[in-house]
């Protein structure tokens, strides 16, 4: 179920520091091509999926594309044509629209994060670790983060 790029929408991420889809694809599939725009009489470059048969359909690029240019098309060797599944990802939630082959649609919205992006303070409220603690079995912040009095162990 590989992705394809809609040439009417892709602007090559020209206003951004990096090509969003190429940056994010976990399988190195989305590729920016500076000359591709010429084929469509555009002055900017465009992206394409360079190896569709290794696409996991993870939607990472679809969610990341700032212009909504990337679309998932069911894989041609099995999946009937005509349906679409489209995400719209905001900072705290995501909305999915499933359009069936027969035209019916379903829409769902789910939360994705309860805190602001970039807000993680990794070792909040904990003192510098001491070398003596390094020899113990407890990890950072345990047992507090376990929310029990002590780390369980076995009587050998």
Partner 1 sequence: MVQPEIETVETDVLVLGGGMAGCGAAYEAAYWAKTKGLKVAIVEKAAIERSGAVAMGLSAINLYLGMRWNQNKPEDFVHYVRQDLMGLSREDLVYDIARHVDSSVHLFEEWGLPIFKNADGTYKREGRWQIMIHGESYKPIVAEAAKTAVGDGNVYERIFAARLLLDAKDPSKIAGAVGFSVRENKIYVFKAKAVIVTAGGATGVFRPHSHGEGLGRIWYAPWNTGSAYSMMIQAGAKMTQMEHRLVVARFKDGYGPVGMWFLLFKAVLKNAKGELVEQKWADLLKEWEPYGSGKPIPTPLRNHQMMADFRAGGAPFYLMTDEAMQRMFQEAGNDPKKIREIEADAWEDFLDMTMSQALIWASDNIDPAKAPTEVVLTEPYLMGSHASGTGAWVSGPEDIAPKEYFWGYNRMTTIKGLFAAGDGVGGSAHKFSSGSHVEGRLAGKAAVAYILDNGATPTVDEGQIQAIKAELWKPFENYEKGKSGSTKDDINPNYLFPKMALHRLQKIMDEYAGGQGSQYITTEHMLQKGLDRLKVFKEDLQKQAARDLHDLLRCWEVWDRTWCAEAHMRHMLFRPETRWPGYYYRADYPTLDDKNWKVFVNSRYDASKGEWQLEKVPFLTNVS
User: What residues from 29 to 58 belong to the interface with partner 1 (CB under 8 A)?
Assistant: 31, 50-58
26 binds partner 1 (CB under 8 A): yes
Binding segment toward partner 1, per CB under 8 A, in 9-17, 39-47, 127-135: 127-135
Catalytic annotation present for 56: yes
- Whole-number minimum distance, CB 13 to partner 1, in Å? 15
Catalytic residue among 56, 96, 117, 145: 56
Of 5-13, 35-43, 76-84, which segment contacts partner 1 by CB under 8 A? 76-84
* 17 makes contact with partner 1 (CB under 8 A): no
Interface residue with partner 1, options 15, 41, 43, 147 (CB under 8 A) = 147
Which does residue 47 bind out of partner 1, ligand SF4, none, counting CB within 5 to 8 angstroms by kind?
ligand SF4
Q: Please say whether the beta carbons of 1 and 81 come within 8 A.
A: no
- CB-side neighbour CA atoms (13 Å) of 127: 4
Per DSSP, the three-state class of 70 is: strand
In the complex, the smallest distance separating the C-beta of residue 102 from ligand SF4, rounded to whole angstroms, is 25
SS3 144: helix
- Strand (E) positions, the chain? 3-5, 30-33, 46-49, 70-72, 84-89, 93-99, 105-111
Q: Measuring CA to CA, which residue among 96, 95, 94, 98 is closest to residue 74?
A: 98
Quote the tokens at residue 115: 């805190």
109 within 8 A of 89, measured Cβ to Cβ? no
* Residue 65 binds which entry of ligand SF4, partner 1, none, CB below 5-8 Å type-dependent: ligand SF4
Catalytic residues: 56
């Amino acid at each position: 179920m590989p992705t394809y790029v809609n040439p009417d929408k892709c602007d090559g991420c020209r206003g951004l520091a990096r090509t969003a889809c190429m940056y994010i694809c976990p399988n190195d599939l989305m590729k920016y091509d500076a000359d591709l725009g010429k084929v469509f009489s555009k002055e900017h470059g465009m992206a394409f999926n360079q190896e569709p048969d290794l696409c996991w359909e993870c939607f990472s690029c679809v969610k990341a594309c700032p212009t909504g240019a990337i679309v998932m098309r069911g894989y041609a060797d099995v999946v009937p044509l005509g349906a679409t599944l489209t995400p719209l990802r905001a900072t705290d939630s995501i909305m999915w629209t499933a359009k069936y082959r027969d035209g019916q649609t379903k829409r769902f919205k789910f939360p994705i994060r309860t805190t602001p992006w970039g807000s993680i303070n990794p070792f909040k409220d904990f003192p510098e670790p001491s070398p003596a603690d390094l020899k113990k079995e407890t990890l950072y912040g345990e047992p507090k983060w376990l929310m029990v009095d002590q780390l369980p162990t076995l009587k050998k």
